[in-house]
Amino acid sequence: MNRPGANAAFETIYRSEKRRVLATLIRLLGGFEAAEEALQEAFTAAAERWPRDGIPQNPYAWLVSTGRFKAIDRWRKQARLAAAMPELTALADELYEPAVPEDISDDELRLIFTCCHPALAADARIALTLREVAGLTTEEIARAYIAPAPTIAQRIVRAKSKIREDAIPYEVPSHAQLPERLESVLRVIYLIFNEGYAATEGPGLTRADLCAEAIRLGRLMVDLLPDPEAMGLLALMLLHEARYHTRIDQAGDIILLEDQDRSLWDRRLINEAGALVEQAFAARNIGPYVLQAAIATVHANASTTEGTDWAQIVTLYDVLLRVDPSPIAALNRAAALSKRDGPEAGLAAIEAIIQQGQLQNYPLAYAARADMQRQLGMVEAAVDSYQRAIALTRQPAELRFLKSRLAALSSG
């Protein structure tokens, strides 16, 4: 393989396997720091050898073996684990016949449950899992939290220290312990999908790898614990995934929901999600993910934007805000309200949300306000709102969209 081809293959494998390799190394090496260092050493070795020797048949096993070998070799040289030398020797012997775990996903599931251990603070659980399982940057996590990046970094450091000091086990908990961890785990999977669906950084609006990873983890959770909320989350992700390829055009620019070609939506995924929503509602234990999935189902089953049952969507948002109040849900309700009752009602709702102060740094709040002001002919106010949204936006596709709206408005 030539150098450009090897480099391209390396980048692809890095993106697809990095999270799985890290999860397995954490299990094998017993800690985050050792595993992260071993991961970097393994990929450094791969960058050096693969262009010369070719891509191994099983890159995952090669990377795990190389990372583990380098960690053990480093420990031997540093003489930090002299008392454990017999065990290290046995581990090193296994490196020459590396075996893929029976279920690769188990390692990631174990890592999620470790990061979501109830001994950790709730906000630290999610931040740590997004960093270690999803591989998000601190800045990406901060955007998901609508919080400063240094705050997120401190949460992650404290969580790692807590796991190390309390010797929190790296394992999937017993069935009896699953419910107390479920909320945090589902929240993490949800945020992983959100980052893939609307990427914080990078040239593209979306990250297909994160969406696929979140859906895979969602399926694992439903298999492990068929709770209504787990089914609701999986359904929600499938419904968004069903229209994934209609959200951007060939230039990578945003296509709004009302302009998407609904004939291209994946009906197989929509039908699968619909069955999950029905099953979740039948359990009569309705939570926020089931409600969000129900809202997405109404959108998915409408043939046009005009034909969408906006009254039902507003009602579902009303229930969602009682079950799980959040400014983002309130913003989405305001958008639906504008479709049901007109832009005046939607604008009034958005102004009230912004005045509360929780979305002062959230660009989509100002973008939604600008859109309603535009519809009402409030040109000067809309220009100001678009400019505010642009100042807060970093994602290139979103920036292009907002600037095009502003340019169209400014040109009359």
What distances in angstroms separate CA 29 from CA 37, 38, 69, 74, 135, one per listed residue? Answer: 11, 9, 10, 12, 19
Tokens of 205: 């609006």
Angular region, 176: left φ>0, alpha ψ -120 to 50, beta rest: alpha
CA distance 145 to 327: 12
Q: What is the pLDDT of residue 144?
A: 67
Q: What is the pLDDT of residue 51?
A: 85
Tokens of 252: 């990578």
What's the chain's average pLDDT?
Answer: 86
Angular region, 227: left φ>0, alpha ψ -120 to 50, beta rest: beta
Tokens of 10: 């390396």
pLDDT tens-place string over residues 209-252: 889 888 988 998 898 888 999 999 999 999 999 999 899 888 88
CA distance 84 to 72: 11
Q: What is the pLDDT of residue 97?
A: 38
Per-residue confidence at 170, pLDDT binned at 50, 70, 90?
confident
Per-residue confidence at 173, pLDDT binned at 50, 70, 90?
confident
Of 277, 171, 264, which is closest to residue 231 (Cα–Cα)? 277
- The radius of gyration computed from the CA coordinates of the chain, to the nearest angstrom, equals 24
Element (H, E) at 184: helix 178-197
- The answer to whether 162 and 119 are in contact (CB under 8 A) is yes
**Three-state secondary structure call for residue 82:** helix
Q: What is the pLDDT of residue 81?
A: 44
Judge residue 20's burial from the number of C-beta atoms within 10 Å of its C-beta, 0-12 exposed, 13-18 middle, 19 or more buried. Answer: buried
CA distance 31 to 34: 6
Per-residue confidence at 320, pLDDT binned at 50, 70, 90?
very high
What distances in angstroms separate CA 79 from CA 69, 74, 407, one per listed residue? Answer: 15, 8, 64
Q: For 32-41, 44-53, 133-142, 222-231, which range has the lowest pLDDT when averaged over its residues?
A: 133-142
Backbone phi, psi, residue 139, to 5°: -65, -40
Which residues in 96-195 belong to E strands, given as ranges?
A: none
- The answer to whether 204 and 226 are in contact (CB under 8 A) is no
- The answer to whether 372 and 338 are in contact (CB under 8 A) is yes
Q: What is the pLDDT of residue 389?
A: 96
Tokens of 151: 């705050």
Amino acid at 205: L
Comparison of pLDDT for 179 and 242, the residue scoring more: 242
pLDDT tens-place string over residues 92-146: 444 433 333 344 447 887 888 888 888 888 888 888 988 888 788 888 788 766 7
